[in-house]
Structure 1
Amino acid sequence: MSLTTAPVFTLKELVTFEELAANYPLLQLLNPHLSQADYEEMLVHMLQHDYKQVAVLNERKEIIGLSGYWIGTKIYSGKYLEMDNVIVLPSYRSQGIGKILCHWMEEKAKAESCKCIMLDAYVVNKDAHRFYFREGFVILGFHMLKNL
């Protein structure tokens, strides 16, 4: 009988422009119309507002899952941590990577004295909705957008 070992995943917080910019191919899976130039231009502004990412790495130190985040305060929620563009490589889905990211975010939010975690999930992303419901998220309202 052979013993199988579970994969070893590690987490890394990413904070520099170079670390974040390198994740463009992964973010493009969730945002196919995003150009690298636009992403890098956005990062310059986002980093000024304390945007960061946390990555899940496999045993070869390749990024297989990722979530951006920042901390803010809103009247209706108080201080919050917002998860942004949560993505897991398709070949690693259903292996607990999303759960690892959510757990890390929850611990970070608690350490930062946040009252809640929030995120946006695209309306068409039904798999993500089921996952977030299992993780204890609820729908509070509609996030509305008007293109200019």
Structure 2
Amino acid sequence: MEIKELTTLAEMTSQLELIRQLYPKMTFQKYESFLKEMIPHKYTQIAVFDNNKCIGITGCWFSTKLWSGKYLEIDNFVVDEAHRSQGIGKMLTDFIEQKALALGCTNIVLDAFTTNFKAHRFYYNQGYAPKGFHFVKILDKDGLT
């Protein structure tokens, strides 16, 4: 297995099949449009490949907040259904942690849906814990992926 940081639009859009396991309604046009907005804001993806097939991927970006200083945010974390419980997720979080340390981040943050108990257990096992609530007010439910 090989882990690689994806930095170009072409590298990222070629992983749409795996992203659709997380967001089944994601179209190529929407994915490409979102990435074009995200990439200029330091968004990259970390991907695990097995025989040139992407079997795990997460997006990440870093910024600064007043309460914490520089932080790295994990976004859109998915491991191929056929490869779960094989250490792929840990490979991704370990890579992210090293990237955050190299960037001088004080912490790593992420969101997990309240009903995604498998993700909660995984993140707890990786040393993550809830710090607060991420409140959301949906303004256009048809615009959600």
Which of the pair has more CA radius of gyration? 1
Q: Using structure 2 for the length normalisation, give the TM-score.
A: 0.92
The reply on whether 1:115 has 2:92 as its aligned counterpart is no
- 1:46–1:29 CA distance, 2 compared to 1 (3 A): same
Structure with the higher fraction of residues in helix conformation:
2
- Give the letter for the 1:42 counterpart: F
**Which residue of structure 2 aligns with residue 28 of structure 1?**
20
Which stretch of structure 1 is more off in the superposition, 68-77 or 31-40? 31-40
**Which residue of structure 1 aligns with residue 87 of structure 2?**
96
Q: Using structure 1 for the length normalisation, give the TM-score.
A: 0.90
Distance 1:36 1:25 in 2: 10
The Cα shift of 1:33 comes to 2.8
The reply on whether 1:136 has 2:132 as its aligned counterpart is no
The Cα shift of 1:13 comes to 0.7
- The aligned length equals 139
Aligned-pair identity in percent equals: 44
The Cα shift of 1:28 comes to 1.4
Which of 60, 78, 82 is the matching residue for 1:87? 78
Structure 1 unaligned residues grouped into runs of 5+: 1-8
Q: CA RMSD in A?
A: 0.9
**Which residue of structure 2 aligns with residue 4 of structure 1?**
none
**Which residue of structure 2 aligns with residue 46 of structure 1?**
38
The Cα shift of 1:34 comes to 2.3
Which of 73, 77, 80 is the matching residue for 2:68? 77
By relative contact order (CA 8 Å, sep 6+), the higher-ranking structure is 2
- Give the letter for the 1:22 counterpart: S
